[in-house]
Amino acid sequence: MIGFALNTLRHRKAAFAGAFLALVCAAALVCACGILLDTGLRGAVEPVRYAGTPVLVAGDQNVRETTRDGDKVKSKAKPVSDRAWIPSSLADRLRTVPGVRKVVTEVTFPATVEGRPVWGHGWESAPLTPFTLREGRAPAAGEVVADAAAGLSVGSRVNVRTATATRVYRVAGVTTEALDQRTSLFFSTEEAARLAGRPGMVSVIGVFPEVDVAPALAGTPGVVYTGDERGRIEFLNAEKARIKLVSLGGALGGTSLIVAILVVVGTFALSIQQRQRELALLRAVAATPRQIRRLIGGEALLVGLPAGLLGAGLGVGLAFWLRSQFVGLGVMPANLSLVVGFFPPAAAVLAVLGAAWTAARVSGRRTARIRPVEALGEAAVRPPGISPGRTIAGLACLGGGVALTLLLSTLETEAASSPVTMLTALVWTIAVALLGPIIARAATAVLGLPLRAFRVSGHLAAANLRTGTHRFASVVTPLSLMIAMTCTILFVQDTMGHAVVEQSRQGNRADYVLGPRLPGVTADAVRRLEGVEVVTEVMRTSVRVGLERYGAQGVTTAGLERTMDLGVSAGSLGRMGADTLAVSETAARSLGVEVADEVRLTLGDGTPVTLAVAAIYRRGLGFGDLTLPHALVAAHVDDPLNQTALVSAPSVRRDALAAVLGGVGVLDRVEATAEQSNAGVNYVAMGLIIAFTAIAVVNTIAMATSDRTRELALLRLVGTTRRQLMRMLRLETLMAVLVAVTLGTLIALVTLSAFSTGMTGSALPYVPVLTYLEVIAAAAALALLATVLPALLALRSRPAEAIGTRE
């Protein structure tokens, strides 16, 4: 049968071209997602600033939790969001270790030079890279040394803004070295310690040469980092990027595989429908069902293997393109290299082979099982119904869609709801695909009446739809999938962004919003202005309760209720003090706490604290799940500059505030809540799924149209004009688009409503009408393009020649 399958492929290249293209795209997606997942699991960030330091001692950047299940002890760890500092006294302990020649301490803090972000250090840490002076000398009080990339010269003066103050410094020296991605500015040791605001603490200790210093650190917060682990300490966002890649690669890969199977099954089903007569003849000349199954399976493997290999190769390039997009969006450090191993391409090839073989066997199951006597009749007039097994599977998927929808409506966190959202839309789409012929038959019965108003073309279109429900269903399925997936992906982000903006708008009572990156001294200067009633400083961070991560804000509590309305449902913001916090209703349900209960949490730098609940509020999406005292948050984050400050000053003019701020933005209430959340990463990643489904739409419709050459030739022989045939095909395609739009919109709407219910408390999602119309217009344009071009090619030949070719 393999030889026969080869002959079939050789003489029916066009019939298998669509399946080949679908499999190539599927393999590319699966391979790219596998590489992202593998990079998240095994990728390492090479150190840059610490490349010349053999051993680093720094804080533990993880929250750890140990559980015991009988005799088994399990330990889990999750990264904190900011740098964990360690006591400077550890340096003295390390100097006593035999073999240690030199110990270098460092403090690290963010600063801004003429509007450009830089990292500040003390000059004593210059040997860690090492940095050497190209000109000038080491900095004294009121002076700095700039690296070669800063573009500063010796003797010049620069305005440096830090969290504590804005001051002019003289450039005392310029280094020979410059680092990629990190511009450095060196202060005197005493000045750096003051600006860092962590007395008695350092961010990193470097040890020369490489010796085992772990025993000397027993019982201390110091952790030893060597090799590529040093990069994790230098680039704290690298660990978050790796976790993001794991979740994104897994979710995107799983979604891609399910979509690929759905698309490939539909493509193979259409291909086998087009070969019903050929397969029926084989059954009529005594081919056994097993031989037919082996033939179809062999064809699938022969198509799937080269498609998988080609797709895996393209997937490697796609993974590098995704990496460049993520680096550009700032969610992945540029020196986190992709891990391109053997397993992702191999898994892509195996997944594609499995999908192709399964799709072909499932699609050809009916043809292989019918009796030889019935085979030609089956091929000539395909029964309009579907098998009992397919009906049961379709009903089971409908039940699964209902169950997932109900589950989704109860999920209140984005991490939990995101994968379920895509799975819900897919399960509904699979149900539509399985029950497609039934839906198509019902749709054609309804649409047949208006079609007949178009006289010849309309009557022909209605008749074709009525007799070709399986073909009609095979066209509707990928269109429905494309519309459902596109609307779900786009409008999930819009629904969340709109809810955040609405809650922020409703909760903002301030007259002005200052920021971003506002120093505390500037906020104090605003407080002293005549007419300013309240200034609430706001700082964003994330904390962990146990291992669960929660978004949080730190706020100054004096007069808080005059600038911010969190929608308090229990307790009072007036009770907030240095040892209290406020909790959103979502977080309160998750943590099982009420007013006056205590919450033990871990701050951004890994410091544990216990705070009492002073209030519970509704607007967690707009303001974060936890609201903490500003002073507590500021002492435990890398960048203690305020994101914003809310100002209650009804009698103060905007230009009066701007004069005090020195370049910091002044926004009114409307301007401050106009920006949507950044969902670029999700758009880039899930956009690949949309592109894949778009290709599947064009592929399927083009295959369906190309196979109708003989039918079109017969219609031309009986007097139908080319113009009437093209109008007939366009009407059929528009009917398919109409049905697909209805089904895809319903799937997306059900999914989005469940998502919105769980995440925002409202069953009404936010759907921009113009964007929705653009999605529908794009789907219709693709469908018409995929119909018209093959039809024009088919109509170029003479009717008699076209019939002879098919015979």
Q: How confident is the model at residue 376 (pLDDT cuts 50, 70, 90)?
A: low
66 and 185 within one domain:
yes
Q: DSSP alpha helices (H): ranges in 275-342?
A: 276-284, 289-329
Task: Assess whether pLDDT exceeds 90 at residue 307.
Answer: no
Residue that finishes a domain, picked among 381, 400, 420: 381
532 and 469 within one domain:
no
114 and 216 within one domain:
yes
Give CA–CA dist 165/274, Å, rounded.
75
What predicted TM-score, i.e. pTM, was given to this entire model? Answer: 0.81
Q: How confident is the model at residue 161 (pLDDT cuts 50, 70, 90)?
A: confident
- Choose between 709 and 772: higher pLDDT: 772
Q: Which of 196-210, 445-459, 559-573, 589-603 has the lowest mean pLDDT?
A: 445-459
225 and 76 within one domain:
yes
Direct distance between the N- and C-terminal alpha carbons of the chain, in angstroms, rounded to an integer: 23
User: Under a CB-based contact definition with an 8 Å cutoff, are residues 623 and 564 in contact?
Assistant: yes
Kindly state whether residue 115 falls inside one of the protein's structural domains: yes
Q: Mean pLDDT across the stretch 705-715?
A: 73
Task: Assess whether pLDDT exceeds 80 at residue 11.
Answer: no
Q: How confident is the model at residue 671 (pLDDT cuts 50, 70, 90)?
A: low
Average pLDDT over all residues of the chain? 83
500 and 391 within one domain:
yes
What domain range includes position 368?
1-45+253-381
Percent over 70 (pLDDT), the chain: 86
Task: Assess whether pLDDT exceeds 90 at residue 7.
Answer: no
484 and 526 within one domain:
no
Kindly state whether residue 247 falls inside one of the protein's structural domains: no
Kindly state whether residue 248 falls inside one of the protein's structural domains: no
115 and 221 within one domain:
yes
At residue 69, φ and ψ (nearest 5 deg) are: -120, 90
Q: What is the CATH number of the domain that holds 540?
A: 2.40.40
User: Under a CB-based contact definition with an 8 Å cutoff, are residues 241 and 81 in contact?
Assistant: no
pLDDT of residue 807: 44
Give CA–CA dist 44/765, Å, rounded.
40
642 and 614 within one domain:
yes
699 and 559 within one domain:
no
Residue that finishes a domain, picked among 381, 396, 424: 381
pLDDT digits (tens, 9 = 90+) for 166-219: 889 999 999 998 887 678 999 999 999 999 888 899 999 999 998 899 999 998
Task: Assess whether pLDDT exceeds 90 at residue 608.
Answer: yes
Kindly state whether residue 50 falls inside one of the protein's structural domains: no
pLDDT of residue 352: 84
389 and 376 within one domain:
no
221 vs 87, 228, 254, 557, 788, CA distance in Å? 8, 21, 40, 32, 70
Task: Assess whether pLDDT exceeds 70 at residue 802.
Answer: no
Which residues does residue 576 pair with via DSSP β-bridges, in sequence order? none
Kindly state whether residue 62 falls inside one of the protein's structural domains: yes
Kindly state whether residue 243 falls inside one of the protein's structural domains: no
pLDDT of residue 255: 75
pLDDT of residue 754: 95
pLDDT of residue 384: 55
Q: Mean pLDDT across the stretch 404-415?
A: 89
Q: How confident is the model at residue 626 (pLDDT cuts 50, 70, 90)?
A: very high
Kindly state whether residue 522 falls inside one of the protein's structural domains: yes
Number of domains the chain is built from: 4
Task: Assess whether pLDDT exceeds 60 at residue 532.
Answer: yes
- Choose between 411 and 22: higher pLDDT: 411
432 and 374 within one domain:
no
pLDDT digits (tens, 9 = 90+) for 463-505: 777 776 777 777 888 888 889 988 998 898 889 888 988 998 8
pLDDT of residue 797: 65
188 and 82 within one domain:
yes
User: Under a CB-based contact definition with an 8 Å cutoff, are residues 48 and 335 in contact?
Assistant: yes
Residue that finishes a domain, picked among 238, 269, 302: 238
pLDDT digits (tens, 9 = 90+) for 223-244: 999 988 898 888 887 777 887 7
Q: What's the length of the chain?
A: 807
**221 token code pair:** 């917060």
Kindly state whether residue 749 falls inside one of the protein's structural domains: yes
Task: Assess whether pLDDT exceeds 50 at residue 806.
Answer: no
The string of DSSP codes covering 61-124 is -EEEEEEEETTEEEEEEEE-SSPPPEETHHHHHHHTSTT--EEEEE-EEEEEETTEEEEEEEGG
